[in-house]
Structure 1
Amino acid sequence: MVGRVDGKVALVTGAASGIGRACAERLAAEGAKVVLTDLTDEAGAAAAADIVQRGGQASYLHQDVTDEGEWVQVIASVRETHGRLDILVNNAGIGLGGSVLDMSLADFRKQMAVNVEGVFLGVKHALPLMRQSGDGGSIINMSSVAGLKGAASLAGYCASKGAVRLFTKSVALECAAAGDKVRVNSVHPGIIETPIWDTIIGTGGPGSNAGPQRAASLDAMASVATPLGFKGDPADIADGVLWLASSESRYVTGAELVIDGGLSVR
């Protein structure tokens, strides 16, 4: 099936790499005009350029999702350029691991600011534009398996992703009550190979080449923790996001799409 989101306008945060980039690429391949945002401008611009080179429609904007002023600017740019917004993928997030005894209040607040406040600001400022067309839309908030169950040494991360889960359900009910045709759902990835794991499991820091270490660590982790026995790829999450963005999921709102190889039910 081709063109499943043909003509729609999508905004994907944290789209320079990992799951965000995969979502942007998948949506563009299915006909959406995609606006990618991130803090890492060189990688973000390269991701957008790659989509265009493949025949898709994409552009890149710098954005710190914790800055409300930047949200106002990004949405204004989408309105000016495209005149509408149909799909919002609140993907930007960070993962900070470690004992609750060792985590600083500053790091806890930073994680909540990106993972929770960023999602709140995205919904708050994108929803009016989505409602403007009268055609409805799809808001997809990236949570995690860590938003469904606890994990040792991930208390702060679990708290942030659990907040995204229930925030999503509440906004879904609000939109349904308003009759605005906007659906709101959360996605819950399991062990997916992305750079976020470097700060969670300590396989690397800024400027380090953590790829092989991360891959080996995640392979070992997934073989034990995941019933299917292997880790997922960003494309696995992007496929789920595409479904939620398309009309194929028109009767789905307030739901949790869990893509984790069975991790959460073990």
Structure 2
Amino acid sequence: MFNIKGKTAIVTGGTSGIGLSTAQALLAKGAKVVVAGRNSQRGEKAVEELSKTSAEVAFCQTDTSDEGNVKGLIAFAVERFGSLDIMVNNAGTGTMATVDEMTGEDWRKIIDINLTGVFYGIKYAAIQMKKQGHGGAIVSTSSIEGAVGDPLIPSYCAAKGGVNLLTKSSALALAKDGIRVSTVNPGYVDTPLVSAELIGQERHDELLAMHPLGRFAKPEEIAHAVVFLVENEFVTGTQLYVDGGYTAQ
């Protein structure tokens, strides 16, 4: 089992939701964690909350769709904590529009953050891990929407499907270096983004009904899956669905 204690982890999109819960879970296991996000105020608030679990936490303001920002993030983690052993590519965004309604600008934004940003994260984490010479674990947040279609989010489906296959390719390329690459693929998670107030009661109830277990995931349930993927040294190139039975249908 990969011993997380004393290892350095980066969690992008780490200031709320799945990312915040993942950072907390890694800290509880004894890791040193850099949380990354675009909003410095949310970053400071996240560090304040996470410091209750461990003082070994820092924030780095990062736009993961910017290659230079991602290189800077990894350099920050290494300078602050001495290494990079765990990379969690969790930053993501979404917008709703059918394929005939979506603008090119909206398409590029989703692909840049949800797919190209993951590419940068895997690439530069792998370069650093290979330099260190003792392997590591890279986990990216994909989605059920990388396996099934949704008419309202074509760019998101395309990006997450891309993350799945980018992960498989990367896992094969990096296995010889002891670097394991996998995805966690959540169903819908109980956050304000899927609240009835935001998306409407009808859409909320429709999404809820698609999960055979009858509820959305809790952020900490996704975080637990990320920890499993990091700890299990015989897991790489896999997609771990944590979806309440959504994709079993």
CA offset at residue 223 of structure 1? 3.9
Which residue is equivalent to 1:262? Answer: 245
Q: Give the 3-state SS of the residue equivalent to 2:161 in structure 1.
A: helix
> CA 1:62–1:217 in 2, change beyond 3 Å: closer, same or farther?
farther
For the 8 Å contact 2:194–2:204, the answer to whether it is kept is: no
CA offset at residue 187 of structure 1? 0.9
| Alignment pair present for 1:238 and 2:223 | yes
Which residue is equivalent to 1:226? Answer: 211
CA offset at residue 221 of structure 1? 3.2
CA offset at residue 17 of structure 1? 0.7
Q: CA RMSD in A?
A: 1.9
Match of 1:182 among 179, 184, 188: 179
Which residue is equivalent to 2:101? Answer: 102
Work out the number of aligned pairs and report it.
248
Unaligned runs of 5+ in 2: none
Which residue is equivalent to 1:207? Answer: none
Unaligned runs of 5+ in 1: 204-209
Which residue is equivalent to 2:87? Answer: 88
For the 8 Å contact 1:147–1:159, the answer to whether it is kept is: yes
Which residue is equivalent to 1:62? Answer: 61
CA offset at residue 219 of structure 1? 5.7
Q: Distance in 2 between matches of 1:226 and 1:112?
A: 26
For residues 1-266 of structure 1, the aligned pairs below 5 Å read 5-176=4-175, 179-197=176-194, 210=197, 213=198, 220-246=205-231, 249-266=232-249
CA offset at residue 252 of structure 1? 0.6
For the 8 Å contact 2:27–2:53, the answer to whether it is kept is: no
Q: Distance in 2 between matches of 1:237 and 1:217?
A: 25
Q: Distance in 2 between matches of 1:119 and 1:101?
A: 26
> Alignment identity in percent?
38
Q: Give the 3-state SS of the residue equivalent to 1:53 in structure 2.
A: coil
Stretches (4+) displaced over 6 A: none
CA offset at residue 125 of structure 1? 1.2
Q: Distance in 1 between matches of 2:71 and 2:52?
A: 29
Letter paired with 2:76:
S
TM normalised by structure 1 equals: 0.88
CA offset at residue 194 of structure 1? 2.8
For the 8 Å contact 1:219–1:231, the answer to whether it is kept is: no
